[in-house]
Structure 1
Amino acid sequence: MKSLKKFNKSIISGAVLFATMTLAGCSTTMEQGKYADGTHDVSAKGKKGLITLTVEVENGHIVDIKTKSHNETESLYLNAERLLSQIVAKNGHEGIDAVSGATYSSNGILEAINSLPRANGSQPEYVAVGAKEENADDNFKLKWSIQPDLGLIKGDYYYEEARFRQGHMGSVAIVTELNNAKNVIFAEFNESGRPNYYTRLYQNVPKRMSEYNFSMGKKKGTAWVQSALTMEKLMVEQDKLTFDLNPEYDAKLGNKLKEPNRLKYLGIDVVAGASNSIQQSMVPLTAKIHEKINGQGSNQRFYQQAEKLMDAKGKWTGVTAMLRIVVDTDTKQITKAHYDEIFADEKAQIKDASQKKFYRQSKYESINYVEPARIGFNVMIDGLNAHLQQGGSLFMIDDLPATGDTGSYAATGFTKRSNSWDNYLNLADVLYKEMRQDGMILEHKKQ
């Protein structure tokens, strides 16, 4: 019996030894992690300055991270610092969202990890991320584009607006080629919610580039703007401004959402979601413009310049600046002006993590966009329009909101200078030169 125990013991010891040797052999062939071994200090910019982390790497894997230094608000950084354990668990920053309320600090931490030396010597570009709730609509499948055509558009300008259906305000802008009224080169329909709209959030809010489209899309499966874009595309492509109802159109099916194209005109399908707006506002307004084009014509000239805003490395920030100016061809005075900054159609295209949630919206029309200058972006632009309509200079704008620092916001609530004014001035210079060359505007002093 003792000899049997000895025999069994020797077998077990041999098996353990073999297993140990096998594991040891495997350890020499185990896949090396992606990072260079050692202790590394890595840094990236947070909201108020550099965030520096000390990272320990063994066998290519992150085993420990400590904050070496930072200049962030302590309470915010403590929230963001929760990401460190996630980074260790995932052995990297990929797939980790920013912490809500600490987006800048979070991105500082994640970008610092992105700069950690790689075992293969590569250095991938860092793409900023948003907070988790900003990605809550990732399953939103509807697609549309609100991007303006880049470069210059100019032509004869026609505009109509009127309230319809319980007080919504509809408007249509049409631009035709100079000296060729039959060629429609620009068409845009917009609508603002009625002042007594049942959802207070959308009272008097333009729908085209605001959150309204996402709200409607989630409830009804289609966005309001999709119908408008469909009609505008047809107007420009077919040079057509008048539409007759299809005699086979079944009004009983008008509010059914089972089909993507419910409302039909002769040869034209309109995307579901804005059938009432198209029927009761867009079509009647464009019919009025059609009459003007074939009647007295226009004494208004339209100029638009749109450019992508680039960062210091020459890469698109995901924001497009656009300036429109309408001038009276007789008086050479500006009758209407509008500047806006429009966010990209997709979150991934927007570099600033805090702005990703505004994709397919514009600063002017968005409800939730917060202007860093501490004043409503729409207030700034409405002020610009009034300033120019009253004969003010395109360039001397120091009397407008947020064109300069006016005190300590923390102490008094005063505004800061908005960077958007610099973008506006660049486009204003482009359009001014074009208008002067055409003899369409009086001289505007620069300083």
Structure 2
Amino acid sequence: MIKNNRFKRSLVCSAVTIASLGLAGCATTPIEGKYVDGTHEVSGKGKKSQITLTVNVKEGKITDVTTKSHKETESLFLNAERLLAKIVSNNGHEGIDAVSGATFSSNGILKAINKLPRADGSTPEYVAVGSKEVSGNDDFKLKWSIQPQLGMIIGDYYYQEARFRQGHMGSMAIVVDSDNAKDVIFAEFNESGRPNYYTRLFQDVPKRTSEYNFSMGKKKGTAWVQSALTMEKLMVEQDKLTFDLNPDYDPKLRNKLKQPNRLKYSGIDVVAGASNSIQQSMVPLTAKIHAQINGEGSTLKFYQNAEKQLDKNGKWTGITTVLRLIVDTETKQITKSYFDEVFADEKNEIKDASLKKHYRQSKYASINYVEPARIGFNVMFDALNVHLQQGGSLFDINDLPATGDSGSYAATGFTKRSSSWDIYLKQADILYSQMRADNVIKTHNKPN
């Protein structure tokens, strides 16, 4: 576009020169613009830090804005960074609203742009802005990660679940160091849509690794999981499981996101879109766990291993495998299992083109993933969970769905052995070896 404009100006100048040689040539006329050309670093105060941006200006217009540094809450700032593209297209910050749930970080970005040197030498006074929810925007650019921590995690296990707010099921898992109960090494919150949810697709569907986050992103401009990730990081980094009530909390302002006292608890800074889930489910459930840790404790032990699936050339396929086993150290029985295959956070990281559409989802939670064995992936591994709870072997799984080739969907409900069972068995062997070394599990026989 710039080249075309220059070409047009050149034609105009030639025409003017031919018409009147007495006029000065246009080619030497300076181009007036809003900002001073060049590369500039500008900063503005966010909630927790100075936000520094690198801004490129050409012919008076902003052509690119990138973040150089910040120390804001990462998930909040990722939300606020959506403003950068708007600033470029708008050639400035004027008329741009803050991102809902990331108001302070948004204002830090906009304040920094306000300090960009202007061609006329002025520096207008900056006026803070509030948020305005955007609905129906399919081109949202939210960023969040659903990737499990790679490697093995072992510790004492605590779990609470309860329905809240019209019937949503919230669940909270906490793992602490077996030698130091004050050291929180793992925190995970999940929520399933209520059974009578107004969108049938999300009835009883886990929100954390399903399409629900995309649906909310398009409607609200924020993903549900981002609040959970923010809180989990806080709990692990600060070993913090309880939160004081906010003395300034006003329930009338709970949905007005620009109000600082919209949250029921102090010391919490969550992304918009799941504040009710955090306040009504995650925090109360975690408080119960905190009481357990400081009371009767737990006989349950948490074992989890996550590995990236590699192709024959040793390159990541874009899928990460995770197996979680909970064992009662007194009975040495498995009380719960969870196996999943988690897709990469970005489409371009997934090698199989047919699976790219499932990015930032998992096979277990996705409502659109099609298992090649023609049975629900969740059905297969829910059956494994029941099998293990009833004392079945980790390895003798031949009676479970899609563990063999039937060729008859009508007779069995599946057609062939799912490749996921072989991936599961590899992970089961890894965890079983560690659990046996720790003497927390009975012998599990392998089929002949």
Q: Normalized against structure 1, the TM-score is what?
A: 0.67
CA contact (8 A) 1:261 1:269 kept: no
Determine helix, strand or coil for the equivalent of 1:269.
coil
User: Number of paired residues?
Assistant: 312
CA contact (8 A) 1:260 1:271 kept: no
Cα offset, 1:425, TM superposition:
0.5
Q: Report the CA distance shift for 1:253/1:313 in structure 2 as closer, same or farther (over 3 A).
A: same
Q: Report the CA distance shift for 1:414/1:227 in structure 2 as closer, same or farther (over 3 A).
A: closer
CA contact (8 A) 2:373 2:414 kept: no
Determine helix, strand or coil for the equivalent of 1:279.
helix
Output the CA distance in 2 between the equivalents of 1:150 and 1:413. 34
Q: Does 1:316 align with 2:330?
A: no
Output the CA distance in 2 between the equivalents of 1:421 and 1:187. 27
AA in 2 matched with 1:370: V
Instruction: Provide the residue aligned with 1:169 in structure 2.
Output: 169
Output the CA distance in 2 between the equivalents of 1:430 and 1:221. 41
AA in 2 matched with 1:309: Q
Q: Report the CA distance shift for 1:184/1:271 in structure 2 as closer, same or farther (over 3 A).
A: same
Q: Report the CA distance shift for 1:289/1:412 in structure 2 as closer, same or farther (over 3 A).
A: closer
Output the CA distance in 2 between the equivalents of 1:410 and 1:327. 37
Instruction: Provide the residue aligned with 1:354 in structure 2.
Output: 354
Q: Does 1:245 align with 2:239?
A: no
CA contact (8 A) 2:249 2:261 kept: no
Output the CA distance in 2 between the equivalents of 1:267 and 1:340. 33
Deviations 1:241-270 (A, max 9, x none): 111232234444321356899637433311
Q: Normalized against structure 2, the TM-score is what?
A: 0.67
CA contact (8 A) 1:264 1:270 kept: no
AA in 2 matched with 1:152: M
Cα offset, 1:179, TM superposition:
1.9
CA contact (8 A) 2:250 2:262 kept: no
CA contact (8 A) 1:394 1:444 kept: yes
Deviations 1:304-337 (A, max 9, x none): 0000000111100000000000000100000000
What pairs up with 1:39-78 in 2 under 5 angstroms? none
AA in 1 matched with 2:212: Y
Instruction: Provide the residue aligned with 2:143 in structure 1.
Output: 143
Q: Report the CA distance shift for 1:402/1:212 in structure 2 as closer, same or farther (over 3 A).
A: same
AA in 2 matched with 1:168: H
CA contact (8 A) 2:246 2:261 kept: no
Deviations 1:160-179 (A, max 9, x none): 00011111110000000012
Q: CA RMSD in A?
A: 2.0
Output the CA distance in 2 between the equivalents of 1:259 and 1:222. 18
Output the CA distance in 1 between the equivalents of 2:301 and 2:348. 37
CA contact (8 A) 1:261 1:271 kept: no
Determine helix, strand or coil for the equivalent of 1:263.
coil
AA in 2 matched with 1:366: S
CA contact (8 A) 2:194 2:203 kept: yes
Determine helix, strand or coil for the equivalent of 1:271.
coil
CA contact (8 A) 1:262 1:269 kept: no
Cα offset, 1:228, TM superposition:
0.6
Instruction: Provide the residue aligned with 1:302 in structure 2.
Output: 302
Determine helix, strand or coil for the equivalent of 1:160.
strand
Percent identity, please.
79
CA contact (8 A) 2:250 2:261 kept: no
Q: Does 1:385 align with 2:385?
A: yes
Instruction: Provide the residue aligned with 1:419 in structure 2.
Output: 419
Cα offset, 1:184, TM superposition:
0.3
Output the CA distance in 1 between the equivalents of 2:412 and 2:229. 44
Cα offset, 1:140, TM superposition:
2.5
CA contact (8 A) 2:402 2:415 kept: yes
CA contact (8 A) 1:246 1:265 kept: yes
Q: Report the CA distance shift for 1:350/1:384 in structure 2 as closer, same or farther (over 3 A).
A: same
Cα offset, 1:238, TM superposition:
0.5
CA contact (8 A) 1:216 1:224 kept: yes
Output the CA distance in 2 between the equivalents of 1:216 and 1:138. 11
Output the CA distance in 1 between the equivalents of 2:407 and 2:244. 58
CA contact (8 A) 1:262 1:271 kept: no
Instruction: Provide the residue aligned with 2:366 in structure 1.
Output: 366
Instruction: Provide the residue aligned with 1:50 in structure 2.
Output: none
Q: Which runs of 5+ in 2 are unaligned?
A: 1-136
AA in 1 matched with 2:427: L
Cα offset, 1:346, TM superposition:
0.5
Output the CA distance in 1 between the equivalents of 2:266 and 2:214. 29
Instruction: Provide the residue aligned with 2:206 in structure 1.
Output: 206
Q: Report the CA distance shift for 1:328/1:410 in structure 2 as closer, same or farther (over 3 A).
A: closer
What pairs up with 1:229-240 in 2 under 5 angstroms? 229-240=229-240
Output the CA distance in 1 between the equivalents of 2:142 and 2:431. 35
Determine helix, strand or coil for the equivalent of 1:194.
coil
Q: Report the CA distance shift for 1:259/1:353 in structure 2 as closer, same or farther (over 3 A).
A: farther
Q: Report the CA distance shift for 1:217/1:182 in structure 2 as closer, same or farther (over 3 A).
A: same
Instruction: Provide the residue aligned with 2:75 in structure 1.
Output: none
AA in 1 matched with 2:429: D
Cα offset, 1:407, TM superposition:
1.9
Determine helix, strand or coil for the equivalent of 2:418.
coil
Output the CA distance in 1 between the equivalents of 2:443 and 2:362. 31
Output the CA distance in 1 between the equivalents of 2:228 and 2:275. 10
What pairs up with 1:30-109 in 2 under 5 angstroms? none
Output the CA distance in 2 between the equivalents of 1:183 and 1:174. 11
Cα offset, 1:138, TM superposition:
8.0
Q: Which moved more, 1:389-398 or 1:399-408?
A: 399-408
Output the CA distance in 1 between the equivalents of 2:302 and 2:362. 21
Output the CA distance in 1 between the equivalents of 2:260 and 2:306. 32
AA in 2 matched with 1:346: E
CA contact (8 A) 1:207 1:213 kept: yes
CA contact (8 A) 1:343 1:350 kept: yes
CA contact (8 A) 1:318 1:350 kept: yes
Which structure is larger by alpha-carbon Rg, 1 or 2?
A: 1
CA contact (8 A) 2:167 2:195 kept: yes
Instruction: Provide the residue aligned with 1:342 in structure 2.
Output: 342
Determine helix, strand or coil for the equivalent of 2:269.
strand
Deviations 1:325-383 (A, max 9, x none): 00001000000001000000010100111111111100000111100111000000000
Instruction: Provide the residue aligned with 1:288 in structure 2.
Output: 288
